[in-house]
Structure 1
Amino acid sequence: MQPSLCKVTHSYPSPVISCIHKDPRGSEVSRIISPSSENRHPQSIVDESTSSNDHKDVHISTQLLDGFLDLAMDNTSRDLETCGVLGAFLKEGTYYVTTLIIPKQDSTSSSCQAVNEEEIFAIQNEQSLFPVGWIHTHPSQSCFMSSVDLHTQYSYQVMVPEAVAIVMAPTDTSRSYGFFRLSDPEGMNILKECKETGFHIHKEPANGTSIYEDCSSIYLNPNLRLEICDLRE
């Protein structure tokens, strides 16, 4: 099943709940495991929720990462970042990411800023989607969250606590992608109080924890339809 491309005016041909289907080949959902875990590979699960906190589970189409990298390929070859917004619907306490919005954007080798954001909001409002995070590339850097990335993540996470930042770092041979959130409440409080802009240094939490961390409760789901709305053209 190939991802489909849509425009702002695209209307889905069926109710949103039909975005979930059963793969006849019996593909399993895989939970993302922190790289610090002894098991560094996605863990297969069947109808199981294993969240260790109060966050809702977030299911992401298995096609999303590669689909995004394909769309970012031209920018990546020119050492320019690319960003996208994750749109999800909520069903029975679980977020299902079924829409990837690639907005018009201004990019450099170390930053990416969406423009014409009203186009993003139009798609989210039309389809009743929750903004459950964002994805962006580090075309020539390692897989981490910069100070600018942390502020962007705060803007999502303050609205939806489950919001995730996905970093794609194709040239990082040790870790090519990561799923991150600000630590809560430590990291969230630091970003809430920070008034600086641009690249700068944030203080670390007083209790010795990290300002951001690998996500739990993230699942790669082969049974999700994926709509990609590329608004750059």
Structure 2
Amino acid sequence: MYHQMNIHAVTVSFPSPSISGVEDALQVSHLSPIKTTDPKHGTTSSSHDCRSSSLQDVHISERLMEDFLELAKDNTEKDLETCGVLGAFLDSGTFYVTTLIIPKQESSSNSCLAKNEEEVFAIQHEHSLFPVGWIHTHPSQSCFMSSIDLHTQYSYQVMVPEAFAIVMAPTDTSRNYGIFRLSDPGGMDILRDCAETGFHLHKDPADGIPVYQRCTNVYKNSNLRFEIFDLR
């Protein structure tokens, strides 16, 4: 079924489609933690960070995030969200994000719904990729996870425990992007038991840890090659 889909229009291949990203990506000399500032405390870490020895590390190119924001620019100027899916391969216990897939989608100022998801699955299948996360814009909102975002994140995290969400908020002067995941087990339990749709409130987990947290197992790797499939 997959070979019948005409979906392989590559928007970006960085640095080159002919260069394998595996060997260079495994070099740690171009590796550093992705840091975001806590708007309340002005720090890059807190007790609300997600730290777990059971989670495998994830590497991503910061340029991929920048390129996504550029591809979302037209929507952002119209106050429309844009979303994309992050695909990764697993090598020696580390996930390497090598593919961004921007699906056909319907957007508003505070939501984004992917369409024709079988096209996304086809690319993931052909390239043997794990759906390790997703990325979306908040064109005029601050950098946070809405209740709808949390339900989307749950669908990823229940498949891949390391799955994370990147929120790009270009108009947020205190923090223009964040990398988040649901707390586990607290946040995961809350979302698993929630049948509500649309925007709504979630109760706090009983353990006192927030429903979602910043990730500290995600690293930027400037050597990591990636491709972007824009299917819109």
| TM-score range relative to shorter protein | 0.7 to 0.9
2:25 equivalent to 1:20: no
1:3 alignment partner in structure 2: none
2:108 alignment partner in structure 1: 108
Asked if 2 retains the 8 angstrom alpha-carbon contact of 1:56 and 1:217, the reply is yes
Asked if 2 retains the 8 angstrom alpha-carbon contact of 1:83 and 1:134, the reply is yes
Alpha-carbon distance between aligned partners in 2 of 1:195 and 1:38, rounded to the nearest angstrom: 35
- The Cα of 1:62 is off from its aligned counterpart by 2.2
Alpha-carbon distance between aligned partners in 2 of 1:77 and 1:33, rounded to the nearest angstrom: 26
Alpha-carbon distance between aligned partners in 2 of 1:153 and 1:28, rounded to the nearest angstrom: 29
The more displaced of 131-140 and 198-207 is 198-207
2:55 equivalent to 1:92: no
Assess, with a 3 A threshold, how the Cα gap between structure 1 residues 103 and 204 changes in structure 2: closer, same or farther: same
Alpha-carbon distance between aligned partners in 2 of 1:221 and 1:21, rounded to the nearest angstrom: 12
Asked if 2 retains the 8 angstrom alpha-carbon contact of 1:20 and 1:223, the reply is no
- The Cα of 1:27 is off from its aligned counterpart by 5.9
2:178 equivalent to 1:178: yes
- What pairs with 1:125-204 in structure 2 (closer than 5 Å)? 125-204=125-204
The more displaced of 204-213 and 32-41 is 32-41
1:40 alignment partner in structure 2: 44
Alpha-carbon distance between aligned partners in 2 of 1:190 and 1:52, rounded to the nearest angstrom: 19
Count of residues in Structure 1 that have an aligned counterpart in Structure 2: 213
The residue type equivalent to 2:7 in the other structure is: V
2:128 equivalent to 1:124: no
> CA offsets, 1:1-46, max 9 Å, x none?
xxxxxx734699669xx223539xx9621112453587639xxxxx
Asked if 1 retains the 8 angstrom alpha-carbon contact of 2:36 and 2:177, the reply is no
Alpha-carbon distance between aligned partners in 1 of 2:192 and 2:34, rounded to the nearest angstrom: 28
Percent of aligned pairs sharing the same letter: 65
Residue aligned with 2:122, SS = helix
Structure 1 unaligned segments of length 5 or more: list them. 1-6, 42-50
Structure 2 unaligned segments of length 5 or more: list them. 1-5, 46-50
Query: Cα RMSD (Å) of the superposition?
Result: 2.3
1:57 alignment partner in structure 2: 57
